[in-house]
Chain A
Amino acid sequence: MTALSPRTVEKGPVPNSLTTGQLPRFAELYIFGASAVVSGVLLMLIGFDVIGWLVLSAVVYLVLLGILSSLVENRRKAIDRLVRGLVTVAFLLAIIPLVSTLFTVVSKGIGALSFQFITQSGGSAFNPDTLEVTNTPGALQAIVGTLIITGIATLISVPIGLFTSIYLVEYGRSGQWLSRTVTFLVDVMTGIPSIVAGLFAFSLFTIILGPKAFSGFSASVALSVLMIPTVVRACEEMLRLVPHDLREASYALGVSKFATIVRIVLPTAIAGIVTGIMLAIARVIGETAPIFMAASFTDNFNSNPFEGPMQTLPVMAYTGFAFPGTDITASNNSAWGAALLLVILVVILNLIARVIAKVFAPKGSR
């Protein structure tokens, strides 16, 4: 009854929205310009400030837009415009710290980058006549260490993670205890503090190899513990998004389950899987605490992952800030350089991954 009565009234006040009650086409732009001017003028009276101006403009814009739209259009349209405005503002708000972080890294790190910085490992020379030690900045040992440690971690985590997600999606059924347990455990694994993962890996290797077990490999194992849950989560989501009719079509043709997964499901989901793996790599490539615990620290070049301490870019960045040399500025500079290199490395890895995804993805998919 109550549902019916408003419907009868509805006809009266709601006009034909196709022809009337529309704000003009670029109304939002005009309103934004107006609110920027208004808040600018307002702020001129009490003292101008860029951040205050932006914030005030946003608020004035939202209020103006809401009022105008609800006057000219209807409440639903007003809410719609308001939400659009809010989402945009949220986005702009969020983009400020994001851009600021990237800007800080790039602007501070760019000065340290040079051909030598990338192609030489950091070194120092001793002059016996003056007793002076001179340091030459270099990041090669850290670049190599990062690539080796993260590479091995990826080699360990991706098969395990991918197979687990295949199990969860293709083999395990939702009621089964194993798949329920694994889903749950993966959730739990995301909560392992990174320092604990490092301790765990190092303790594991001291049991096997004896006390001097510092190695790049044990750091890789630590990173794998952190990486696997992210890989499983991401791959699982992506595999589930593969339409069921593709699988059914394949089975209908008499194709085995194995072949269906390898030939149909994985290629369809490859773009998402690669994105997920890259996200997982990005998650662990910047870790410092587990590297310290499992691979110790060194300034020396070491490319053997199975023996001796190794350095990575985030470790180099961290030590550069936390334990600067006597020339604090020089230490900080090479630390920023290492941070920037890390970001660049991730960009490169991302690009490679995208190319791989493109090559393997079936034509016509997104």
Chain B
Amino acid sequence: MSDRTSVESVSSTQPRQNTTSDSTTPLGGGTPAPAASPKRSTRARPADAIFRGLSTGSAIFIMVILAGVALFLIVQGMPAIVANWQSNPELNDGFTSAFDSFWAYVGPLLFGTLWSAAIALVLGAPIGIGIALFISHYAPRRLAGLLGYVVDLLAAVPSVVFGLWGIIVIRPFLLPLSDWLNTYLGWIPIFGGQVSTTGSTILAGAVVLAVMILPIITSISREIFLQTPRLHEEAALALGATRWEMVRLAVFPYAKSGIVSATLLGLGRALGETMAIAMIISPAVIVSFLVITEGENSQTIAANIALNFPIASTLQRQALIGTGLLLFVVSLAVNMIARYIVTRGSSKTGGKKKSRPKPLVVPTGDATSTLTRDLVAEKNTAAGPEGASA
């Protein structure tokens, strides 16, 4: 019933849209009309043109914003990057005085940023994906909705509150654990060093960071898991797969790129997190893998900006913005690498379009047969050793 009415209502709105079409069409001029979808009807419709123009315009606008931000960073950061750090009096004062060049300053910061984000990701990503899987495939339906809601809610807790929570809950909680790790596992390099007595370690920071990225990773992964085609899941179960096998053979391959992009968004947040890190970790601008010490925690770029911005002189401010530029470049690189991994992963396993599956376009039969093959192979290998020993 809605189809009929929609057609009519569109034709009735046509004249009204027509009057504005002249002014807006040039926006869409960037993309030539022939590039339109093949399904486009042959009749030219002004509303279509406007809509197309608006969409393309928005896409271009995003490029403009980003170009603006990039330009801003470069213009602001360059003077400090090219300055002579050894002779400049402004840079020889305060927090930049100990460094010979911009790169000597930003190097340890870059390491600290990646190191803390990596720990957070190692701790947070598997758990985040685990929760998503639990909510989408294991939890009772009614409970799942509620849990999903609670997790979403956490995305709204401001990072200063996470910082505070880290100080009053996580720091004391991790103290005995740190002692234990140092005593019994101190031979592993990262657990060595002088154990912290206040708990403001990079480990505490990373644990809080892990909790902060959970909501992002979980809510996106959950959506992706829920979108796994029913057919695939049921086919797997019908072939006698256990639930885990079904998840592994039907859900994960389908959701792989979604999981990667969820993890990436989480990583983005972890790389850029400022306030919580600044409040929890006792930092030093050094390269250090130690995770449970007081004075040897590597500082992150974002926290360093927040901590030193208030006292920075003009050139020092520019130096800090320069480090921000580098953070920008790093997230760019991380994204590129991840995209590369995703595309390579999908091309290796053949025709399965995992990243953006259009349910009806995916040759279902083919996918199911692949599934069947995998499943049979799995059964064989499972039975194999037993058979051999018998």
Residues of A within 8 A of B (CB): 3, 6-7, 9-10, 12-14, 74-77, 79-80, 83-84, 86-88, 90-91, 93-95, 97-98, 100-102, 104-105, 159-164, 166-168, 170-174, 176, 178-179, 181-182, 184-197, 199-200, 203-204, 225, 228, 230, 232-233, 237-238, 240-241, 243-245, 247-251, 253-259, 261-264, 272, 275, 278-279, 282-283, 285-289, 313-314, 317-318, 321, 339, 342-343, 346-347, 350, 362
A3-B380, A188-B332, A256-B10 known; A285-B156 Cβ under 8 A = yes
Known: A13-B390, A317-B161. A253 touches B7 (CB 8 A): yes
Task: Give chain B's interface residue range (CB within 8 Å of chain A).
Answer: 35 or more
Whether A191 and B158, one on each chain, are in contact in the complex, defined by CB atoms closer than 8 angstroms, is: no
A314 touches B158 (CB 8 A): yes
15 contacting pairs across A/B (C-beta < 8 A): A84-B243, A90-B126, A97-B170, A98-B150, A193-B327, A237-B258, A257-B51, A263-B10, A282-B155, A317-B160, A321-B160, A342-B156, A343-B153, A346-B153, A350-B153
Contact residues of B with A, CB < 8 Å? 2-3, 6-7, 9-10, 30-31, 35-37, 39-41, 43, 45, 47-48, 50-52, 54-63, 65-66, 68-69, 72-73, 76, 126-128, 130-131, 133-135, 138-139, 147, 149-162, 164-165, 168-170, 207, 211, 214, 216, 219-220, 223-224, 227, 242-245, 247, 258, 261, 264-265, 268, 271-272, 274-275, 301-302, 305-306, 309, 321, 324, 327-328, 330-332, 334-336, 339, 356, 358-361, 377-384, 386-388, 390
Instruction: List the 5 shortest-distance A-B pairs measured between CB atoms, nearest first.
Output: A191-B331, A9-B387, A286-B158, A90-B130, A163-B58
Chain B residues near A314 (CB, 8 Å)? 158, 160
Contact A243 B7 (CB under 8 A): no
Nearest B residue (CB) for A83: B244
CB contacts (< 8 Å) of A172 on chain B: these are 59
User: If the complex has contacts A94-B128, A237-B223, A264-B6, are A317 and B158 also in contact, measured as CB distance less than 8 A?
Assistant: yes
Shortest Cβ distance from B305 into A: residue: A195
Q: A251-B41, A288-B159 are in contact. List 15 more A-B contacts (CB 8 A).
A: A6-B381, A9-B387, A75-B386, A83-B247, A84-B138, A90-B131, A104-B164, A189-B62, A190-B335, A196-B324, A225-B65, A238-B223, A244-B360, A263-B2, A318-B160
A199 touches B41 (CB 8 A): no
Task: Give A82 to B349 CA distance when docked, in angstroms.
Answer: 27
CB distance from A275 to the nearest CB of B (A): 8
CB atoms of B61 and A160 under 8 A apart: yes
B321 pairs with A196, CB closer than 8 A: yes
Beta-carbon contact of B131 and A91 below 8 Å: yes
The interface residues of chain A lying within 8 Å CB-to-CB of B207 are 97
Chain B: CB-nearest residue to A320? B160
Contact B65 A101 (CB under 8 A): no
- Return the chain B residue nearest A284 by Cβ: B156
Given A167-B58, A197-B69, A258-B48, does the pair A318, B275 have CB atoms closer than 8 Å? Answer: yes
B residues less than 8 Å from A261 (CB atoms)? 51
A289 touches B128 (CB 8 A): no
Residues A248 and B39 in contact, CB atoms below 8 Å apart = yes
B48, B224, B245: the one within 8 Å of A257 (CB):
B48
Are A94 and B65 in contact, CB atoms less than 8 angstroms apart? no
Q: Which of B31, B147, B211, B380 contacts A97 (CB 8 A)?
A: B211
Smallest CB gap from A319: residue in B? B160
Q: Which residue of B lies closest to A109 (CB)?
A: B161
Residues of A within 8 A of B150 (CB): 98, 102
Cα of A190 to Cα of B272 in the assembled complex, Å:
9
